[in-house]
Amino acid sequence: MSDVSDAGPEVLIIPTGIANLASVEAGLRRAGAQVRTSRDPAELVDAAAVVLPGVGAFDAGLEGLRGLRGIAEALVERIAADRPTLAVCLGLQLLLHASEESASGAAGLGIVPGRATRFPDSVRVPQLGWNLVESDPACRLLGSGGYAYFANSYRLAEIPAGFACGLADHGGRFVAALERGNLLACQFHPELSGRYGAALLRRFVERAQEVQPC
């Protein structure tokens, strides 16, 4: 990875093996962050900010995450401590209790209440392309809404209690993103979402800068 200015906070990306890390890394660097990957649970618990990326199937994503010894537990710990954490696409679904996609019935991390379900057959599945995100006024990191790029076959259809949400519509309303404290989870790809996504990543990096230990 190339050297960057040390002015911004360090953001650690979890290398799950199920994501295009290059685009996520590039988006974060443009937002002013120093970026590297880490498989060290202790580092991930205490980092200024952490990103959980992901694409593909729920079972494969969960296997990749749990295959990194101690990382799932580190994620649970840092989110419980309200440290800045961003989950992207499948990363959001891995935070849930479960997914209809799981052939084995495997449990997710259980950080966010809910179960991912498949889009209805009345619309194109997977959803590929741009869709409007409308944000709850309580959203701070997500911003006021805009068009974002999605690539998903499953989604969280019910708003979880205790979270501020952004919603989109594809065969019915679904959770496009959710946030609580310093946790932000996006079903869309902010790193591929133009100005809207770039502004979101800047807000996330700025939050990490504000709350990181001296």
Residues annotated as catalytic are: 89, 189, 191
What is the spatial distance between Cα 129 and Cα 126, in angstroms, rounded to a whole number? 10
Which token pair is 49?
């900010």
Counts of helices then strands in the chain (DSSP H, E):
6, 12
171 CB-side CA count, 13 A = 17
The phi and psi torsions of 119 (rounded to 5 degrees) equal: -60, 150
Cα–Cα nearest to 18, from 66, 76, 59, 60: 60
With contact defined as beta carbons under 8 Å apart, do 95 and 108 qualify?
yes
